Amino acid sequence: MVVSSVGTSAAVAVPIAAPVMRAPAGGFEELFVPSSMGPIKVQVQWASRGGSSALYLLDGLRAPADHSQWTTDTDALRQFAGDNVTLVFPVGGHSSFYTDWYRPSRTNGQKTAYKWETFLTRELPDFLAGYGVSRTNNAIVGASMGGNAALVLAAHHRDQFRFAGSFSGFVNPTYPMWNEAMRVAMRDEGNFNVDDMWGPASDPAWVRNDATAQLERLRGLPLYVTTGNGVPGSADVPYGLGNTLNAMSLEAMTVVAAGIFRDRATALGVSARVDIVNGTHTWPYWQQALTTARPMILDALGTR
């Protein structure tokens, strides 16, 4: 049995294999989904007219344990409120890069290895199918940590995803020394050990999880990659000088990665829209990126 709560109403027991053939029409719900990592909280805004397509939205490195930042730091719920697309917000997974780790992190006492690729491409879609959500007519986008992950998951699971988008993603993690930059970031956010994720930089797992290296697998899939150029704007003011300087430095890295991705896609003849805009590594810019991506997502899912 799985506990599901709708809004502020009382919890209701729902069978995992509930024989529901059509998704609920509209509304927001929080589900607890079984996984090899234990129950995972997933926030859902159901398609407005009970349609079967879905958009998965992945968080950044500091993903909170109790909610998706897409639901609190952007207007994603409002943007898609009238659309016949279910929004799927996995909760948690900070410093996970939404991938299957080799083993639990040895530097912070983690008990169970992250298995986010397995969750997002098997366990979660199988669970949502019980609510009438398609296993195959999905889109996926992610911000920061989630950006590269969204493209990589789509590359390796073309049967599931019809669109993929990266917003300020580190889409070229095999770039020289970027594994060490990730090591520092992951130590700072939860004391996670990058070697327990993909092994040393020479390990094939790094190439497998590099969106730029996987461009051939993305051929023919609608893609949207966007990043800021590191120049702050009015959207940065509420975050303060310290946060803005950090956001500028992070975006200076993602703009390099986006340029490499664009040039590699052009060389291979793989179609991808790559936008470099004014802005930093901050949620208001990812909200705008989602606004830009929304028509592409709806077209790819056939819901317009």
Q: What is the pLDDT of residue 116?
A: 98
Residue 136 lies in domain: 2-301
First to last CA, the chain: 35
- Encoded tokens for 147: 């950006």
User: Are residues 51 and 21 in contact, defined by beta-carbon separation less than 8 angstroms?
Assistant: no
Q: What pLDDT is recorded for position 153?
A: 98
Q: Which residues of the chain have pLDDT under 70?
A: 1-22
Q: What angle do CA 293, 250, 272 make, to 5 degrees?
A: 30
Q: Locate tokens 């051929």: which residue?
A: 219
Spatial neighbors of 217 by CB under 8 A, at least 6 apart, are 155, 156, 158
Say if strands 273-277 and 223-228 run parallel, antiparallel, or are unpaired. Answer: parallel
Phi, psi of 172 (to 5 degrees): -145, 60
Number of domains in the chain: 1
Please tell me the predicted confidence (pLDDT) of residue 233. Answer: 82
Structure tokens at 77: 């719920």
Residues 97, 273: Cα–Cα separation, whole Å: 23
pLDDT of residue 22: 66
72-129 pLDDT tens trace: 999 999 999 999 999 999 999 999 999 999 999 999 999 999 999 999 999 999 999 9
Is the distance from CB of 116 to CB of 96 less than 8 angstroms? Answer: yes
SS3 label, residue 29:
strand
- Read off φ and ψ for residue 55, nearest 5 degrees: -120, 120
Hey, what's the torsion of the CAs at 251, 293, 90, 265, to 10 degrees? Answer: -60
Token duo for residue 220: 């023919």
The domain spanning residue 269 has which CATH number? 3.40.50.1820
Which of 173, 184, 181, 182 minimizes the C-alpha distance to 149? 173
pLDDT at 15: 41
- Active site positions, annotated: 144, 251, 281
What's this model's pTM, rounded to 2 decimal places? 0.91
- Residue among 124, 121, 98 at smallest CA distance from 33: 124
**Nearest CA among 109, 98, 105, 63 for reference residue 199:** 105
pLDDT at 14: 45
